């Protein structure tokens, strides 16, 4: 087992035992992450939704299907991707997590990214993007820009749930994913 995988296992055990906020009372399962433990590309979402909570895996519901579709359109190597969220338990009625919930979960996020150590992180939506850049304002204004988080290139883009509501944004997300993937490939040169 590689080092990243070992670290993630230990961290996942802490997440499973976490009762730091009220979300633990309504969760079915904690939702840690899935994919290659030492992936070059991390896709960061906001929080698990209904299906994710029931299966204990991120992005397995309808929004996850859209994300898979977007990755296919962008020719991303799916075997080299790790999917995870800012918050590890589903907020009731799939509402946006509160600032306190995000803060309580933040130490998991920081350690999880450090363990994987990817080349690129694609942040989907405002909550995920703001977590890695505290100066991040509106997503509409900053989507398409790049910034660095602890030496890792971050590509903010729209959330796949938003793409489902606004399909005209699909092309932009595919473009962002393609650029992120190209950045990963450049790291091999």
Q: If binding is defined by CB under 6 A, does position 64 make contact with ligand URA?
A: yes
Angle at 114 between CA 65 and CA 160, to 5 degrees: 20
Within 8 A by CB and 6+ apart from 57, the residues are 31, 34
Q: Helices marked H in 29-159 — which ranges?
A: 50-55, 62-73, 99-116, 125-132, 139-142
**From candidates 15, 42, 43, 63, binder to ligand URA by CB under 6 A:** 63
**From candidates 33, 48, 97, 118, binder to ligand URA by CB under 6 A:** 48
**Contact window for ligand URA (CB under 6 A) among 51-59, 69-77, 98-106, 114-122:** 51-59
Give the residue with the Cβ less far from ligand URA, 96 or 133: 96
Min dist CB 139 to ligand URA, Å, is 13
How many residues sit close enough to ligand URA to count as binding (CB under 6 A)?
A: 12
Q: In what order do the strands lie in the sheet with 152-157?
A: 33-35, 81-85, 41-45, 120-124, 152-157, 147-149
Q: If binding is defined by CB under 6 A, does position 157 make contact with ligand URA?
A: no
Q: Could you give the 3-state DSSP secondary structure of residue 87?
A: coil
Residues within the interface to ligand URA (CB under 6 A): 45-49, 52, 58-59, 63-64, 85, 161
């Amino acid at each position: 087992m590689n080092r990243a995988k070992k670290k993630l296992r230990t961290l996942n055990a802490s997440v499973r035992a976490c009762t730091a906020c009220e979300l633990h009372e309504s969760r079915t399962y904690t939702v840690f992450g899935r994919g290659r433990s030492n992936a070059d590309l991390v896709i960061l979402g906001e929080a698990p939704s209904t299906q994710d909570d029931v299966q204990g895996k991120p992005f397995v519901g309808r929004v996850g299907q859209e994300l898979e579709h977007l990755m296919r359109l962008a020719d991303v190597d799916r075997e080299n991707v790790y999917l995870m969220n800012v918050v590890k338990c589903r907020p009731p009625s799939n509402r946006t997590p509160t600032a306190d919930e995000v803060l309580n979960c933040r130490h998991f996020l920081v350690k999880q990214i450090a363990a994987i150590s990817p080349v690129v992180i694609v942040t989907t939506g405002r909550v995920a993007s703001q977590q890695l850049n505290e100066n991040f304002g509106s997503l509409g204004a900053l989507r398409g820009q790049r910034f660095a988080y602890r030496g890792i290139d971050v590509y903010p883009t729209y959330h796949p749930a938003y793409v489902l509501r606004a399909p005209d944004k699909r092309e932009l997300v595919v473009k962002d994913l393609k650029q992120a993937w190209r950045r990963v490939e450049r790291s091999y040169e």
